[in-house]
Structure 1
Amino acid sequence: MLIGILQTGHAPDPIQPDYGDYSDMFERLLGGQGFTFRTWNVVDMDFPTSTDAADGWLITGSRHGAYEDHPFIPPLEDTIRAIYASGKPMVGVCFGHQIIAQALGGRVEKFAGGWSVGRRAYDYKGAQIHLNAWHQDQVVERPADAETIASNDFCAHAALVYGDRVYTIQPHPEFGRGVIEGLIAHRSSTVPDDLVDAARAALPEPVAQDRIARDISEFFRKERRA
C-alpha cells in the first residue's frame, strides 16, 4: 500500500541530521507495516496531480496556522476535499488534523488557553494514554461528519474520525524524546518558560507512539466499500 505524505512544513534544520524531516518521522513511525511512501512537499507548492497517486494519504504537522494566508493552503484544502470525496483513507496529525477539519467545515483558531507542549494525557477511546504535543492552534468546532475520539481539559477535539474515511489527531505520535528536545532547543522562544520546563522534566516518561502507530496502520488497511 502506497501512502502519500503531504508535507506541510519542515522540521528545524538543526534536528534534521538526527531525525530527518517530518515525512521521515512518519516513515519510521509506520515502518514494518508493509507500506511504501512518497512525499509531496505541499508547503513548497509540490502537489499530487490526482488522488489516485497513492492508496492512502497522510498530512503532516507544520509551524503554520491553517487559517493563515499562505499560497499552499487553498490548494491543500481542495486536495483534502478531493481525497475525502474519493473515499481513499486520509490521516492528519497536528496541522494535518486542523487543516482537514477546516477544509471539511470545522473551525480552527489560535486557542485562548495558550500552548500545549511535551507529554500530555488524553482520554482516547475510553482509556488514558500519553502523547507528545506541540501546538497552540486547535480545532474548536468539529465538522458535522466528525466524531471526537480523544480529548483532555485543554483540547476538546484531540482526535477525530470521519466514518471510515478520515482519522486525525492533534498530538504528535511521530515525536519521540529526541524531537521534543530539539523543539525545546530550537522552537520554544514563544512558549512560556514554565511549560518548557515541564516538557523538559517529562522527557524520560513513556508515550504511546506504538499504540497510535498501530491504530493508524489499521485504519489505512481497513477494508472499505467500493
Structure 2
Amino acid sequence: MKIGILQCDHVLEKFQPEHKNYPEMFINLFSKVDPTLSFEVFDVQLGEYPTHIDHCDAYLITGSRHGVNDGHDWIDTLIDWIRVLHQQRKKLLGICFGHQAVATALGGQVIKSPKGWGIGVSKNRIDESRPWMTPEKDRLNLIVSHQDQVIKLPEGAQVLASSDFCPYYMLQIDNHILTVQGHPEFSKAYSHDLMENRREIIPLQCIMEGLASLNSEVDDIEVVTWMVNFLRHDDADVTSGH
C-alpha cells in the first residue's frame, strides 16, 4: 500500500537535526507498524499534489502551525482536494490540522477554542469501538498541540473518541475517512521542545501542566496500528461495529 503524505508544514529548522521533519516522523512510525508500506510526500503549501487521485492508495494530511481559517490560498486548494477525495471515497487520514481541514471541507466548523491551548499528553475516552480498533482500548492517550478545535461535526461523522476538553477528538466519516486531533507522530522530546519554544505565546500554567503530562504513557503505536487496519479493511468490515 502506498500512502501519499500531504505535508502542511515543516518542523522548525533548528529542531530538524534531532526530530526530523513531519513526513519522516510519520514514515518512521508507520513503518514500525507495517514495514511493507510505501510513501510519497507532497508539499501542499507549494501546491504539490499527485497528477491523479489514484496515484496513491490512501492519503494522510499532516498537522500545521497554521489554522484552517487563516485564509491562505493553499488551504483553500487543500479543502477542494479533500472534497474530491471524499467524493471518490479514497481512504484518508487527518492528523490535527488535517482533522480540522477534513471537518471544514465536509461541512463542519472549526474555531480557536475558548478553552485555550491543548498541549502535552491528552487523555480521552473511547466512545465507539470498531473491528479494526485492535488492540482494543477504552482510553486513548496522545500528544497534542493545538488551539483550534472542531465544534460542529461534518456530515456523516461518528465520534470515536472524546474528552471534556475536546469533544470531537477522533472521527470516522463513512468507511473511508479517519481523523484525530492528537499527534501520534510526535515524540515526547519533540513535544517538550515545542512547548519550551512557545513559552512567549502559551500561558505559563498551561506550559507547566503540559510538561508534567509527558510523564504519562502514550498510545502512538496502538493508534497507528488502528490507522493501518482502517486503511486495509474492506468497506463492509469498517462500517460494522461490535
The 3-state SS of whatever aligns with 2:31 is: coil
Secondary structure of 1:37's partner? strand
Q: Are 1:224 and 2:235 an aligned pair? A: yes
Contact 2:23–2:41 (Cα < 8 Å) also in 1 = yes
**Alignment correspondent of 2:213:** 202
Instruction: Report Cα offsets for 1:153-206 as digits up to 9, x if no partner.
Output: 111100100121100000111112111022023234311111111121222321
List alignment gaps of at least 5 residues for structure 1: none
Aligned to 2:133: none
Letter in 2 for 1:191: I
Structure-2 residue corresponding to 1:189: 200
Report if aligned partners of 1:161, 1:168 keep a CA contact under 8 Å in 2.
yes
For the pair 1:9 / 2:9, whether they are aligned, the reply is yes
CA distance in structure 1 between the partners assigned to 2:84 and 2:15 by the alignment:
33
Q: Answer yes or no: is the 8 Å Cα contact 1:12–1:186 preserved in 2.
A: no
- The Cα shift of 1:86 comes to 1.3
Partner of 1:78: 80
Which residue in the other structure is 1:151 paired with? 162
Tell me, yes or no, if structure 1 residue 23 matches structure 2 residue 39. Answer: no
Q: How does 1:54-69 map to 2 (within 5 A)?
A: 54-69=56-71
Tell me by how many angstroms 1:44 deviates. 2.2
Q: TM-score, normalised by structure 1?
A: 0.95
Q: Which amino acid aligns with 1:205?
A: S
* Higher mean displacement: 117-126 or 73-82: 117-126
1:121 shift after superposition? 0.7
- The worse-fitting range, judged by mean Cα deviation, of 54-63 and 216-225 is 216-225
Which residue number in structure 1 is paired with residue 40 of structure 2? 38
Selected match of 1:135 from 136, 143, 146: 146
102, 105, 110: which one aligns with 1:103: 105
Aligned to 2:171: 160
Match for 1:178 among 189, 194, 214?
Answer: 189
Root-mean-square deviation over aligned CA pairs: 1.3
Residue-pair matches, total: 225
After TM superposition, which residue ranges in structure 1, 4 or more long, deviate above 6 angstroms?
none
What is the deviation of 1:212?
0.3
**Per-residue CA distance 1:43-102 (angstroms, 9 max, x = gap):** 222222221121000000000010111120111011111111111100000000000010
